[in-house]
Amino acid sequence: MISAAFCTSIFQLYICAGFITGLGLALNLQPSVIIIGKYFLKRRPIANGLAMAGSPVMLCTLAPLNQFLFDTFGWRGSFLILGALLLNCCVAGALFRPIGPTSERQKNKEAKGAVREKTDGGIAEIGGKNMETKEDRDCCENFNRFLDLSLFKHRGFLIYLIGNVLMFLGFFAPIVFLAPYAKHRGIDEYSAAFLLSILAIVDMIARPATGLLANSKWVRPRIQYFFSFSIAFNGVCHLLCPLATSYMGLVIY
């Protein structure tokens, strides 16, 4: 985001503010979602709902903040300030820590690993070929530890993955197209922009409420059906959006 402030062409903006920033935000989002599963077991859906409620707060405030920064500092200054705000994610990520004391089994494994490294070092001095083989094997083991490709053999995981891909194809459609669609229907610019604020406020309330509902004893054992119903309901709402021709209809949408 900061590098976008020094761009001199639209193509460079696509690369810096689009591709690189988007990749960084994706790499920032996934660990924050996964770490919630490590920290919370009993009330995980509520924790997820509260954590994800920050997204609509930013959506509600980002549009007026961007306009203020643009009017005050220009687009280059806006990118610098927004990039500085995003750098706080590095501080937040540094706070991610494993919880609980280190088990004796883990300590023994680390001790064995240290002894093995020393032994491998001695073997490497005798024969370089054995050391290269060991390094290749360790590289493969580390790769499998961080990216377990065997998950793609699991049918349930594949269905969940495909469902998420299809969901995100339309997930951001209201954010991108709702205001232009309202203007196309003859609604004034400020009222069209207010639709995004309404969307953010409702989203802010709905996410924690959904977490509470998903944590209930009736829904949690059937959480996969609740998730599927939510996605289907969202898709039906998107399909019905073109039928909303008035401002009140778009507010209900």
| Rounded Cα gap, residues 19 and 13, in angstroms | 9
Q: How many domains does the chain have?
A: 2
Q: What is the pLDDT of residues 47-63, one digit of tens each?
A: 777 777 777 777 677 76
User: Both 94 and 3 in a single domain?
Assistant: yes
| 137 — pLDDT class (breaks 50, 70, 90) | low
Q: Which of 77, 98, 119 is the last residue of a domain?
A: 98
**Using an 8 Å Cβ cutoff, are 130 and 137 in contact?**
no
Does residue 129 lie within any of the structural domains?
Answer: no
11, 23, 68, 73, 80 from 83: Cα distances, Å: 19, 14, 16, 14, 5
**Using an 8 Å Cβ cutoff, are 49 and 207 in contact?**
yes
Question: The domain containing residue 197 runs over which residues?
Answer: 148-252
User: Both 83 and 154 in a single domain?
Assistant: no
Q: What is the pLDDT of residues 103-114, one digit of tens each?
A: 555 555 555 554
pLDDT at 133: 54
User: Both 165 and 245 in a single domain?
Assistant: yes
Q: How far apart are the first and last CA of the chain?
A: 33
Q: What is the DSSP string of 95-115?
A: T----SPPPHHHHHHHHHHHH
Is the per-residue pLDDT at 152 higher than 60?
yes
Does residue 139 lie within any of the structural domains?
Answer: no
Q: What is the mean pLDDT of residues 126-142?
A: 55
Does residue 50 lie within any of the structural domains?
Answer: yes
Minimal CA–CA distance to 178: which of 201, 194, 165, 164? Answer: 194
Does residue 196 lie within any of the structural domains?
Answer: yes
61, 168, 176, 233, 243 from 239: Cα distances, Å: 28, 15, 16, 10, 8
- In which residue are the tokens 């709905």 written? 206
Does residue 127 lie within any of the structural domains?
Answer: no
Q: Which of 38, 73, 98 is the last residue of a domain?
A: 98
Q: What is the pLDDT of residues 190-233, one digit of tens each?
A: 788 788 778 888 887 887 787 778 777 788 777 778 877 888 88
